[in-house]
Chains A and B, each alone.
Chain A
Amino acid sequence: MFWNKTAGWINSPKDVIDIISYEGEVYCIPVNIHRANVMWYSPKIFKEAGLTPPESMDDFFAVADALKAKGITPLALGDTNTWPSTHLLASVLLASTGPDKYRDLWSGKVSWSDSDVQKGLKNFAKMMGYINSDHAALTNMDAAGYVAEGKAAMNVMGDWAAGYFQSQGYVQGEDWDWIPAPGTRGSFTMLSDSFGLTKNAPNRENVVKWLEVCASKDGQDAFNPIKGSIPSRTDGDRSKYGAYLNGAMDDFATNAIVPSLAHGAAVSEAWLTKINDVMSVFTTDLNVAKATAEFQALADKYAPK
């Protein structure tokens, strides 16, 4: 198709090109990259409790127990719209499977009964014992807010939360800070806003011009600092981006990049909506065996053949 001729101007890491391609052809131009596997935490709470933000899932449970003993909500979750729990699950799975097996899970090559996947599911079920009781009433934004307000210690959410913190006047380093979600350092779970060109587009020329802007350095550097995301190109102008975003860009250039589950990068909408349905029950009944069976059935039905 059209893009391979001008593939040179998509200056993105190979992993990203894989995600936006199908059978070797690029189908959309990502104008930005958001990161999903980020854990936001409250420096105030950690300092007072004398704890350090957890790097692994085991660390997480140790920290969570300590916090719970002090009467502090360890993890904030706001899943009234269901997807934030899927978002959390993706990070927890990634922690035990690592990037390669994670990708294979979504291509149907790995079974949900695999021991690493099972570990992830069990970890998730255990985590549900450490969340705020009103999680089903909050949006993801409300839950992130809990961290900045000092009502909860940690929150796993995409990096648009940073934009929210800044607009509310919270200060990085005091009210909030971040580390990669526990167990996922070295991986960058990406999602992106991207634009495509439909087959019979009436204004093809204009669309192509727009796509060129989206793919260009100037275009991405103009859009992303305001959006709160980083460019999909590896040569963005660092000076235009704030502290968090620079950190993200560092990771993006060096980490293994995996597609986000909850935001449509890893699986089709059809599959994802059914996964969300399973999550709606799993977060309440914590039944790993049942969830495994249901996830497997969905994978059998929807994974690319």
Chain B
Amino acid sequence: MMKKADNPIIKYTVAILFALMFLFPLYILFNTSFKPFSEVRISEMWIMTKSPSFEGFGEAFSKLGGNMKNSFLMVIPVSLLSVLMGSVNGYVFSKWKFRGANVVFALIVFGMFIPYQSILIPLVQTLSKIGLYGRLTGLIFTHLVYGLPISTLMFRNYYAELPDELLEAGQLDGLGIWGVFGRIIFPISAPAMVVVLIWQFTSVWNDFLFAVVITQKPSIQPITVALQNLAGSQIIEWNVQMAGALIAAVPTLLIYIFLGKFFIRGLLAGSVKG
């Protein structure tokens, strides 16, 4: 690690300046959230609230509480299952390459780059046919399918770094493909698991497009859609919006704050070379 003996002042100044740039939008978020509606005016965004009130939060919470639950109900199964599916898939594609495996893998990865708008209509039609349209399980299923490429990619890259000797040792003990996976590979998959978990949790929690298209009943909608719906069609209660946005951001924020270093560690462990 390099030591910058000269100019620690420059180093800290730059770091702090950037930190301020990253943080100052939060001022608007917090300031507006704590204003009563009568004070909310775009022309007064910088002006600190004169009578801070929890009005915005109260309103946002009573309206969004149920939707937050929906988001959790959706995100947790998706994250866990994505880890499972991704690790299994990534394992086969990294260590048990069959003929044409690379081509298939490339096609899988390409799937994560497609613009989702291009498949929305057939998606809805298909979900209807299998009875999953308009249901939270339909949304979960959708996220699992479209999350498969990135999960497979991350695990596959991670496993590719593992030396073959690890598996050979297991094979010598008479383990087959899944025996090796269960006994040897899976237990040491933690870094990749953390990355996939964090990535999926965040992107599924923040997803808007699939949620707004697939879930119609307000009682099932995740929080991202409910937040958008908080805005009346012609008039918007900004304090409620901002408070709602804060509430909606808390879970993912907490994940980044507490698991951020695992995220970087996981990237370090091999997913970096993408």
Contact = CB atoms under 8 A, between A and B. Distances in A.
Does A touch B (CB under 8 Å) in the complex?
yes
Contact of B235 (A151, A163, A169): A163
A140 interface: yes
Given A145-B43, A149-B43, A151-B43, A139 B38 contact: no
Contacts of A158: 234
Contact of A141 (B37, B38, B234): B234
Interface string B22-49: 0000000000000001100111000000
A149 B41 CA distance: 10
A277 B43 CA distance: 28
Contacts of A140: 234
B234 A138 contact: no
Considering residues B37, B41, B234, which has the most beta carbons from chain A within 10 angstroms of its beta carbon?
B234
B235 A164 contact: yes
B14 interface: no
Interface string A192-221: 000000000000000000000000000000
B83 to A, nearest CB: 40
Contacts of A169: 38
Contacts of A164: 234-235
Contacts of B234: 140-141, 158, 160, 164
Contacts of A168: 37-38, 41
B236 interface: yes
Contacts of B38: 167-169
Interface string A127-145: 0000000000011111001
A161 to B, nearest CB: 8
A139 B42 CA distance: 10
A141 B236 contact: yes
Contacts of A141: 234-236
A167 B43 contact: no
A181 to B, nearest CB: 17
A138 B37 contact: no
Contacts of B235: 141, 160, 163-164, 167
Please classify how large the interface on chain A is, using the bins under 10, 10 to 19, 20 to 34, 35 or more: 10 to 19
B33 to A, nearest CB: 18
Contacts of A151: 43
B273 to A, nearest CB: 42
A169 B234 CA distance: 18
Contacts of B41: 145, 149, 168
A166 to B, nearest CB: 11
Nearest to A160: B234
A223 to B, nearest CB: 15
Nearest to A168: B38
Nearest to B41: A145
Interface in B115-174: none
Given A141-B234, A141-B236, A158-B234, A167 B37 contact: yes
B22 to A, nearest CB: 23
Nearest to B233: A160
A131 B38 CA distance: 26
A263 to B, nearest CB: 10
A160 B42 CA distance: 18
Interface in A146-168: 149, 151, 158, 160, 163-164, 167-168
A291 B37 CA distance: 40
A269 to B, nearest CB: 15
Most buried by A among B37, B38, B42, B236: B42
Interface string B235-248: 11000000000000
Interface string A41-63: 00000000000000000000000
Nearest to B39: A168
A248 to B, nearest CB: 16
A57 B3 CA distance: 72
Nearest to B238: A141
Nearest to A158: B234
Given A167-B37, A168-B38, A169-B38, A139 B43 contact: no
Interface in B217-236: 234-236
B81 to A, nearest CB: 33
Nearest to A151: B43
B236 A139 contact: yes
Which 6 A-B pairs have CB atoms at the shortest separation, nearest pair first? A160-B234, A164-B235, A142-B42, A141-B235, A169-B38, A168-B38
9 contacts: A141-B235, A141-B236, A142-B42, A145-B41, A151-B43, A163-B235, A164-B234, A167-B38, A169-B38
